[in-house]
């Protein structure tokens, strides 16, 4: 076969789908690529860096942080589903064996390798419905539950339903700023208009209704507003919304006929004793008519919480009060992909249906859970205190999720230099931080931020001693950076 020259290629950057080019995803962007290059150089010994390892604090990946081992209960359940003969071992817990057998009876040929129903394995959807009902105190139905390849897959599916494919007046989706870049990337891919509303940094990243009204009103000549995204607990900001705040958001969405997308993947990550998670569904139902009849989708994930099973790609979404004809179209849409990974489904099933007191696996499960949760709470408190002890850095309390989003002072001279390099100032800062300390974080500009402010996002996942070391390296770098560019 004759090798084509570049001029003969049928697909080039010039004729590539322009929406693909618009997509940006900072969490695995240029800085992370640079971090991988440095790691390779460190391994080969061909370098002159003043550090011997890269500290990856760019992504919420619990197991990759090196500080967390898999939860025994989850892995035993998946092992039993994957290789049933292992359950013949006398050490295999009886309660997990019963759950495995129940789950496999819902699979074709009693095998996790078979295609599942498009919405997911029925027993797992039933367990999720029970989990939601116990959490909120209101009925949930397995037919409203859709298992998916991580919450990201479900979010993209629901956003797709809201698109009108009108290039002149596209669908508009309200997204928080700062926001998780999945949303801006997906909306760019779909050709939607991003209605950006700012979170209030001076009020612990609270959500202000006047700001929602401002953002919506300013967008109406550019799009048709269709939905609003709320991330609670927040990513990258780590705030936890109060019940009153959620109530006001629901009333706002009702007023403007907006579909609610409640990203609640961090609902188990609450670190401050005076913070509490309230699901949007619970508050919606508590409000009664007419609010309880509003349409909404809520999302949960196996990747977050305290279990951190990111690689399993397990997740689900619940569709509430969806029109029957629309639901039929959703079912048709997901059937084209056959089903989400059955392994991810089983992990999600294990997470929402954990061992109960008195069951054989409960004691070890509770011990492992307590250790991880206490560590996360300790690090959440530690990180914000350490950042706030540094000149030119301000960090709100990490109320929930698994990130800190400190605001950093960047001298005007450095800002101008970054612009001359066609870089965002905080991106320039984070590249310098990586090259001089080995710390890999994500610039705030990758999540969007209020103009004139600069931030970075770091996870709180590395071990405590590594977190302390990281912040002290950051402290020395930041002081040197300020002195160099002042």
pLDDT at 11 over 80: no
CA distance 386 to 426: 20
200 domain residue, yes or no: yes
186 domain residue, yes or no: yes
Same domain, 384 and 338: no
The residue that leads in pLDDT, 27 or 338, is 338
**Contacts for 177 with CB less than 8 Å, ≥ 6 apart:** 196, 197, 198, 199, 447, 448, 449, 450
Tens-place pLDDT, residues 211-259: 999 999 999 899 999 999 999 998 989 899 999 999 999 999 999 999 9
332 domain residue, yes or no: yes
Q: Which of 319, 352, 385 is the last residue of a domain?
A: 352
Helix (H, G, I), strand (E, B) or coil at 407: strand
At 1 the pLDDT is 42
Same domain, 324 and 395: no
Same domain, 189 and 239: yes
Same domain, 210 and 259: yes
362 domain residue, yes or no: no
Q: Which of 322, 352, 382 is the last residue of a domain?
A: 352
- Per the structure, the complete domain to which residue 469 belongs is given by 18-67+373-485
395 domain residue, yes or no: yes
Q: How confident is the model at residue 308 (pLDDT cuts 50, 70, 90)?
A: confident
At 176 the pLDDT is 94
Same domain, 336 and 228: yes
At 7 the pLDDT is 64
Domains held by the chain: number: 2
Same domain, 319 and 282: yes
Same domain, 45 and 133: no
pLDDT at 171 over 80: yes
364 domain residue, yes or no: no
Widest distance between CA atoms in the chain: 69
CA distance 473 to 195: 37
The residue that leads in pLDDT, 333 or 259, is 259
Apex 401 CA angle, 388 and 26, nearest 5: 85
The percentage of residues in the chain with a pLDDT greater than 70, rounded to a whole number, is: 95
Determine contact, residues 178/444, Cβ cutoff 8 Å.
yes
Please give the backbone phi and psi of residue 92, each rounded to the nearest 5 degrees, phi first: -75, 120
Residue 475 parent element (H or E): helix 464-485
Q: Is pTM beyond 0.85 here?
A: yes
Same domain, 439 and 473: yes
Apex 74 CA angle, 72 and 79, nearest 5: 90
Name the E strands within 305-350. 314-320
CATH of the domain at 288: 3.40.640.10
pLDDT at 3 over 60: no
Same domain, 175 and 317: yes
Q: Which long-range contacts (CB under 8 A, 24 or more apart) does 242-250 make?
A: 242/206, 242/278, 243/276, 243/278, 243/283, 245/206, 245/207, 246/278, 246/280, 246/283, 247/283, 247/287, 248/209, 249/207, 249/209, 249/212, 249/280, 250/280, 250/283, 250/284, 250/287, 250/291, 250/294
Q: Left, alpha or beta for 165 (phi > 0: left; psi -120 to 50: alpha)?
A: left
Determine contact, residues 249/207, Cβ cutoff 8 Å.
yes
Q: Average pLDDT over the chain, rounded to whole? A: 88
The structure tokens listed for 205 are 């990243």
Helix (H, G, I), strand (E, B) or coil at 441: coil
Determine contact, residues 209/252, Cβ cutoff 8 Å.
yes
DSSP for 217-235, please give it: HHHTTT-EEEEEEEESS-T
Q: Which long-range contacts (CB under 8 A, 24 or more apart) does 306-309 make?
A: 306/62, 306/268, 306/269, 306/369, 306/372, 306/373, 306/376, 307/62, 307/71, 307/74, 307/351, 308/60, 308/61, 308/62, 308/63, 308/68, 309/63, 309/70, 309/71, 309/74, 309/347, 309/351
CATH of the domain at 423: 3.90.1150.10
pLDDT at 9 over 80: no
Determine contact, residues 398/381, Cβ cutoff 8 Å.
yes
pLDDT at 305 over 70: yes
Same domain, 320 and 423: no
CA distance 466 to 485: 28
92 domain residue, yes or no: no
Same domain, 339 and 389: no
24 domain residue, yes or no: yes
pLDDT at 4 over 70: no
Same domain, 232 and 323: yes
Determine contact, residues 309/74, Cβ cutoff 8 Å.
yes
CA distance 442 to 27: 6
């Amino acid at each position: 076969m004759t090798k084509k020259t570049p001029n003969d290629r049928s697909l080039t950057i010039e004729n590539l789908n322009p929406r693909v080019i618009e997509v940006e995803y900072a969490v695995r962007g240029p800085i992370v690529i640079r971090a991988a290059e440095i790691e390779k150089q460190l391994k080969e010994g061909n370098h002159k860096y003043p550090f011997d390892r890269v500290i990856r604090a760019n992504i919420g990946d619990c197991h990759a942080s090196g500080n967390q081992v898999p939860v025994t209960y989850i892995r035993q359940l998946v092992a039993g589903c994957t290789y049933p003969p292992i359950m013949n071992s006398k050490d295999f817990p009886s309660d997990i064996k019963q759950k495995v057998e129940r789950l496999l009876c819902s699979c074709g040929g009693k095998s996790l390798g078979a295609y599942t129903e498009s919405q997911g394995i029925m027993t797992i959807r039933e367990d999720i419905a029970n989990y939601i009902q116990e959490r909120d105190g209101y009925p949930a139905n397995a037919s409203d539950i859709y298992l998916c390849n991580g919450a990201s897959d479900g979010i993209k599916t629901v956003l797709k339903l809201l698109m009108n494919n009108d290039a002149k007046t596209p669908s508009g989706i309200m997204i928080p700023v700062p926001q998780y870049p999945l949303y801006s990337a997906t909306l760019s891919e779909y050709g939607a208009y991003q209605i950006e509303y700012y979170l209030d940094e001076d009020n612990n990243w609270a959500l202000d209704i006047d700001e929602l009204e401002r953002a919506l009103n300013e967008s109406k000549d550019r799009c048709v507003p269709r939905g609003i995204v709320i991330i609670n607990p927040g990513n990258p900001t780590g705030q936890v919304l109060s019940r009153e705040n959620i109530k006001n958001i629901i009333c706002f969405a009702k007023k403007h006929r907006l579909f609610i997308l409640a990203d609640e993947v961090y609902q188990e990550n609450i670190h401050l004793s005076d913070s509490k998670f309230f699901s949007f569904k619970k508050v919606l139902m508590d409000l009664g008519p007419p609010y309880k009849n509003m349409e909404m989708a809520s999302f949960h994930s196996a990747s977050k919480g305290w279990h951190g099973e990111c690689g399993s790609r397990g997740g689900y979404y619940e569709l509430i009060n969806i029109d029957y004809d629309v639901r039929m179209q959703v079912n048709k849409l997901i059937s084209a992909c056959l089903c989400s990974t059955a392994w991810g489904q089983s992990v999600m099933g294990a997470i929402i249906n954990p061992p109960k007191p008195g069951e054989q696996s409960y004691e070890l499960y509770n011990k492992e859970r307590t250790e991880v949760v206490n560590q996360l709470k300790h690090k959440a408190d530690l990180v914000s205190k350490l950042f706030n002890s540094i000149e030119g850095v301000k960090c709100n309390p990490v109320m929930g999720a698994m990130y800190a989003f400190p605001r950093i002072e960047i001298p005007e001279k450095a800002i101008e230099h970054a612009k001359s390099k066609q870089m965002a100032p905080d991106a320039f800062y984070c590249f310098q931080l990586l090259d001089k300390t080995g710390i890999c974080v994500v610039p705030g500009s990758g999540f969007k931020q209020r103009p004139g402010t600069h931030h970075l996002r770091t996870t709180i996942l590395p071990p405590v001693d590594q977190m302390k070391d990281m912040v002290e390296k950051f402290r020395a770098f930041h002081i040197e950076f300020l002195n160099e560019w002042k």
